[in-house]
Chain A
Amino acid sequence: MTKLNILTRGIIKENPVFMLLLGLCPVLAVTTQAENAIGMGLATTFVLLGSNIVISILRKIIPNRVRIPCYIVLIASFTVLAKMIIEAYAYPIYQSLGIFLPLIAANCIIFARAEIFANKNGSINSILDALGFGAGFTLALLAIASIREIFGNGSWFGVEIPWLTNNSAMIFTLAPGGFIVLACLLAVVNKISKDNERRKNIDCKTCPNACICGRT
């Protein structure tokens, strides 16, 4: 696989949100505003990058039997770091992300990349992989958040859109709106892309994380 392939795979072919359907909690929860989506996406990318780098460097040292606890500690530590950085430099985003910032530590995309990729590949490739999947996640969040903010709040990145501001449908910013917007986007993806087993049939068998749960 070429380097370019590794980088772009996470953005389109294996987009964590639209193709793999992983880590849906932050995808639905923080996407009421485009600004929050970018904040969440960047924070997740940071944690993914950190954990991928360290795990790929230590992959020969970490004993196979305790690799999952090692991932947990590493990912949680990077999450704390990301949380502290955002708290210090972007306090409004820190407040609006709220509990979902520490919950990056339980994000299954990061676990999946650690187990599937960083554990088996060198650090350069792992960096590219993390950047690709981070970008894919951020773009997916941005797409959902843009739709929800534009139609639900009549603004984009906080800038008001003339006509929509007075004619916004609040349902888009509420919980059901999140589900509906994601459903419609996935339907569009279904329409334009090839068949995808995971999108037709979501369960443990099609979950890329099954190897971590020991359910394979």
Chain B
Amino acid sequence: MDIDFRALVVIMMSAALVNNYVLRQFLGVCPFLGVSKDLKSSVGMGFAVMFVMLLAASVTWPIQVFLLDTNDLRFMQTVVFILVIATLVQLVEVILKKYSPSLFESLGVYLPLMTTNCAVLAVTISNINNGYTYIEAVVSALGAGLGFFLAMVIFTGVREHTASADPPEAFKGIPLILITAAILSLAFFGFEGVIENLFGQ
């Protein structure tokens, strides 16, 4: 099997930057707004999302292709995927707790949030919708996770500065945070066309 590295890079870059899950597709906005208070927790959350995305994508792809497609059970996709993600998260939690308490300490608290994190479910479903091969699916999940991590960390940095800002009374709190997110999202529009220019599609 020959692997088209150029295609893989394109998939990863577009998942991470051009079609950034949080800032362009609005997937996983809740944790993005809720856990971006300080750098430590946003890094933890970012890593947890990346990890679970990778794991979920590499497990759900074979399930879809070898189980659901062959048995004509495609309509069960949503139910099966969300259950698989929930189970995986539980499993990872138990394993981390037992074998790596230090890692559990930093990632563990964010794991239960993953089941209702639509970004994770969205990665697995869009991998199937796009007709990716197994490697492409894993790479796109990695890209999506990296994009989430990047958005999270940048946003935390910006948000720490807005804490000392003095906006109009009504804009205090979440409206200000949302405006910050809007500007960051605008910044990510700068990546539009980067891939076409770099790789000449």
Contacts and interface: CB of A to CB of B under 8 A. Distances in A.
B126 A183 contact: no
Contact of B173 (A108, A179, A200): A200
Contacts of A102: 77-78, 121, 125
A28 interface: yes
Most buried by A among B24, B26, B33: B26
Q: Is the interface of B mostly helix, strand, loop or mixed?
A: helix
A191 B170 contact: yes
A188 B112 CA distance: 33
Nearest to A23: B30
Contacts of A199: 173-175
A105 B125 CA distance: 12
B170 A103 contact: no
A106 B75 contact: no
Contact of A105 (B34, B78, B186, B188): B78
Interface in B67-118: 75-79, 82-83, 86, 109, 112-113, 115-118
B126 to A, nearest CB: 6
B7 interface: no
Contacts of B133: none
Nearest to B37: A203
A159 interface: no
A18 to B, nearest CB: 10
B152 to A, nearest CB: 14
A138 interface: no
Interface in B11-56: 23-30, 33-35, 37
Interface in A38-75: 68-69, 72-73
A186 B175 contact: yes
Nearest to B168: A187
B178 A179 contact: yes
Given A80-B78, A175-B23, A176-B186, A103 B116 contact: no
Interface of A: 21-26, 28-29, 68-69, 72-73, 76-77, 79-80, 83-84, 99, 102-103, 105-108, 111, 174-180, 182-184, 186-188, 190-191, 198-204, 207, 209, 212-215
Given A80-B76, A108-B30, A215-B112, 4 more contacts: A72-B82, A72-B115, A180-B182, A201-B173
Interface of B: 23-30, 33-35, 37, 75-79, 82-83, 86, 109, 112-113, 115-118, 121-122, 125-126, 129, 168-179, 181-183, 185-186, 188-189
